[in-house]
Amino acid sequence: MKSKHIYVCQNCGYESPKWLGRCPNCGEWNTFVEEVRSGTKRNPSRVSVRVKALENIGIENKERIRTGIDEFDRVMGGGIVEGSVILIGGEPGIGKSTIILMISGILANKDLKILYVSGEESASQIKLRAERLNISSSNLFLLPETDLDVILNTVEENTPDILIVDSIQTTYASYIDSPTGSVSQVRECTSQIMRLAKVSNITTFIVGHITKSGAIAGPKTLEHMVDTVLYLEGDSNHMFRILRTAKNRFGSTNEIGIFEMVEEGLREVKNPSGYLIETRVKGASGSIIVPTIEGTRPFLVEAQSLVSTSRFAVPQRVSTGVDYKRLNMLIAITEKRLGIGIGGFDVFTNIVGGIKITEPGIDLGITLSLISSFLDRPIPSDTVAVGEVGLLGEVRAVNMLDKRVQEAEKMGFKRIIIPRQKVVNDLRIKIVKVKNLLEAKEELSL
């Protein structure tokens, strides 16, 4: 059969027989690239497969490899499962290669043979970074290569315990008539690497860059192919990095790891609450501490708001670390339910430290900081607040409230404003339960 020409969206992998200006699947513009597909067909094979009853199938306990980096091991569910394929995604420059090289150095010192394949850096560049991270081991081998055939042959010849491919977007298969980094190349290279990893029982890390929409570059099926998908998130202008799990076949997806980017690499943050609020300015209006939950882990963040007179016909709305649409909703609720007219003012909201909070438990803290800034009345520095705010102005229940209250008490706060739900009573912190925003406002004398 002859080869055929198709057009593939480089953002989501959608295929079309003709070029389109806008992808009908993801809505992005100018993302279609022409690719040539071979028309050769594989002959279907009839293979006899023995079926088994579910009750007769035994459970295989996979051995885990602990890296010694507690934040990473927590996210992985207790360590790396031997023979698994792990995809690590993140923006360029966020620290993916740094954390992978750190893990490589630790595992190499445990007498594990590591093969680090790099398509973006030369061996000397990786050596310089390894020296900066104080990594040196005779079990760590480097292969600056992008050709998939060379990589697979090298893996088969050297049989490493750990294989690292950095990054999958630079790897190419010569028999695919598509440019490096295209959907077809990324999908095929991942498929071949995963097949070899499973057959040879090689634990494999694959590094992937994310697109502007926040997804790993390549089709969504790329995430379905691997065992674990990790995302390294953060703002390159801030020191904090959050490692979270989007998929984990061998553990929970509810854990996160928090790191700090320093000159020596990524350093674990054991007490994120203390680190995030230690530079807080007390006695200033528009600031409040909020207990939040990431995964199953509680920590405190500082929510800041600034409400000022607008110089434009349309007031500005700027949010950092808070969903923009949710901020607009909270402004509307404050106007309608409390009669505080902040809709015509410029509103700026920030979560200190570059942390992004998406859970609704931060609503009450954000709303109180808006009111505090508008009225220019500071919130007592020994008070924290948590709760979801409904469209009727009611303060609704949040998950894991006990953990949030205990974290606030541990950090020395004297009072916490919460929704009317059950919570542990044997604590020294004063617990104030409120029904709606008006009661919370009156409690703080705003």
DSSP 156-199: HHH--SEEEEE-GGG-B-TTSBS-TTSHHHHHHHHHHHHHHHHH
Tell which CATH architecture fits domain 274-443.
2-Layer Sandwich (3.30)
Decide if pLDDT at 40 tops 70: no
User: Would you state the pLDDT for residue 263?
Assistant: 83
Write the single-letter amino acid at 56: N
Measure Cα distances from 348 to 285, 296, 321, 324, 427 in Å.
13, 29, 11, 10, 35
pLDDT, average across residues 309-329: 94
Q: Is the pLDDT of residue 39 over 60?
A: no
* Tokens standing for residue 131: 């020296």
> How many of the other CB atoms lie within 10 Å of CB of 40?
8
353 pLDDT tier (thresholds 50, 70, 90): confident
Band (3; pLDDT cuts 50, 70, 90): low
Q: For residue 183, what pLDDT is reported?
A: 82
Mean pLDDT taken over the chain: 88
Residue 2: the pLDDT is 54
- Integer-rounded Cα Rg, in Å, for the chain is 26
C-alpha dihedral (300, 330, 441, 386), degrees to nearest 10: -30
Residue 5 predicted with pLDDT over 70: yes
Which pLDDT score, from 0 to 100, does residue 297 have?
86
Q: Give the pLDDT of residue 265.
A: 86
Least confident of 37-51, 63-77, 137-151, 316-330: 37-51
Neighbours of 318 (CB within 10 A): 13
Q: What is the tens place of the pLDDT at every residue in 373-421?
A: 999 999 999 999 999 999 999 999 999 999 999 999 999 999 999 999 9
Q: Report the distance separating Cα 244 and Cα 233, nearest Å.
A: 8
What mean pLDDT comes out for the span 249-269? 86
Q: Regarding predicted confidence, which is higher, 440 or 214?
A: 440
Print burial letters for 392-428: b (CB count within 10 Å at least 16), e (below 16).
ebbbbebebbebbbbbbbebebebbbbbeeebeeeee
Q: Does 18 score more than 70 pLDDT? A: yes
pLDDT of 97 reads 92
Q: Confidence band (pLDDT; 50, 70, 90) for 43?
A: very low
- Across 88-102, 252-266, 380-394, which has the greatest mean pLDDT? 380-394
Pick the CATH number of 62-270 from 3.40.50.80, 3.40.50.300, 3.50.30.30, 3.20.20.140: 3.40.50.300
The pLDDT-based confidence of 335 (bands split at 50, 70, 90) is very high
Place of tokens 């409690």: 443
List % helix, strand, coil for the chain (3-state, nearest 5). Answer: 30, 30, 45
Query: ∠ CA 326-327-330 to the nearest 5 degrees?
Result: 85
The pLDDT of residue 42 is above 50: no
What is residue 384's DSSP assignment?
E
Region 145-156 average pLDDT: 94
The larger pLDDT score, comparing residue 240 to residue 292, is at 292
Q: How does residue 45 score in pLDDT terms, banded at 50, 70 and 90?
A: very low
> Which two three-digit tokens encode residue 173?
């298969």
Q: Which two tokens stand for residue 412?
A: 């020395």
Does the pLDDT at position 219 exceed 60? no
Region 307-331 average pLDDT = 94
Residue 28 confidence (pLDDT) = 82
- Residue 220 is predicted with a pLDDT of 63
Strand partners, 293: 298
According to DSSP, the residues that pair with 6 across neighbouring strands are 35
Distances in whole angstroms, Cα of residue 136 to Cα of each of 82, 115, 116, 133: 23, 14, 13, 9
* For range 227-246, the mean pLDDT: 85
Q: Is the pLDDT of residue 46 over 70?
A: no
Q: Which residue pairs from 432-439 have beta carbons closer than 8 angstroms and sit at least 24 positions apart in sequence?
A: 434/387, 434/395, 435/394, 435/395, 436/337, 436/392, 436/393, 436/394, 436/395, 437/333, 437/334, 437/337, 437/338, 437/364, 437/367, 437/389, 437/393, 437/394, 437/395, 438/337, 438/338, 438/393, 439/395
Q: For residue 1, what are the contacts with CB-CB under 8 A and spacing of at least 6? A: 39, 40, 41
Q: Range with the lowest mean pLDDT among 52-56, 285-289, 298-302, 373-377?
A: 52-56
Instruction: Write down the pLDDT at residue 227.
Output: 93
The pLDDT value given to residue 6? 80
Number of H helices, E strands in the chain: 11, 23
Confidence of residue 354 (pLDDT cuts 50, 70, 90): confident
The pLDDT score that the predictor gives to residue 349 is 97
DSSP H or E stretch at residue 207: strand 203-209
